[in-house]
Structure 1
Amino acid sequence: MEVKNLKFIHFLTAALSIELFMLFLFRFTRSPFTGKSINNWYTNFGWSAIILDVLSVIIGFYISKYIYLYAQKRGILNEKNSLLKFLILMLCVQIIHDFTFYFTVIKNTKLGKNPIMDELIEYANNVGVGAVIGDSFMYLLATPLLYILLKLKDEDNQFISLVCTYIIGYIVYQKPII
């Protein structure tokens, strides 16, 4: 599989699929990733929370793709074990993003200025490094999924994206069991 063949539709489908999976865990299970703080995020912000989550994953995919292709062009990476290399790169991008966002944005935002930022501040205070672990888990699932989605026709990816979005529309308003 060549990373250069990954397109927006693959990133969108993977992000929506993983968002649906995680939202299902948060709302319907008592998994290690489920808790009051993450459920407050979805309960309080609904579709805004979904959109921000999905866009964050897609942006991470694009940054990783661009770095990967740059490293490949420079002869630093080849296509051998591309899934593993892309996954490691993806995790590095995600972890750097999470800590950078925390130290530059969350730590420097005053409470009461923005309800979404207030929620993220509370989430960071309650969950701590667990937020980074949860995000890493999402990318550990989403990145291999990209490789599967790349084998499907664009129309199939579009259909999967639509179905995921449709189901998310119901689950986001589901009362969590926790």
Structure 2
Amino acid sequence: MTQEQIDKKWWEIGNYFRRNSLWMLMYCTGCCAIELPPAMTSAYDMERLGMGPMATPRQADVLLVTGYLSLKTLRRLIYTYEQMSEPKYVVGFGSCTINGGIYHDSHAVINKLDQYIPVDVYVAGCMPNTEAVMNGFTDLMGMIKNKTARGWLDYKERNDWYKKNQLDSLGEVLVHDEFHE
């Protein structure tokens, strides 16, 4: 067996455990966040899928963005995303993350989250119901299994494009890293 085949096999084993043990960081910016508590209760029980909340970006695999993003919150979201370990995944909730939702014509709200950070799964609706949220989670797990959840790789490969979009909207975005001060 070659080293490449061994690495591939270890990556497949890692993906099996990753998709069955997803730790989420909830970035609740809008009304879609109201659908997360029911997903945690016994009726839907997202923990049966191996999913649970985490307190910090460095512990999380999945970043849940639930609602509209103002320019101020976008800056913090980028800081948060860049602190997460790889592989990392993003789930956008509601129409606000897709097209700005009811705030689409506001000068202070961004309209397309995937212009600034890669989004692996969108859960559509205003507000998406709990069943749609759970379907989004299982879609992400399927994408991890099939090796199609590659947003974090896209962010690395097209970093100049993402950084240009961030710069155009926010000005300079510096990642604060306490270890490099």
TM range (shorter): under 0.3
Which of the two has greater strand per residue?
2
Which of the two has greater helix per residue?
1
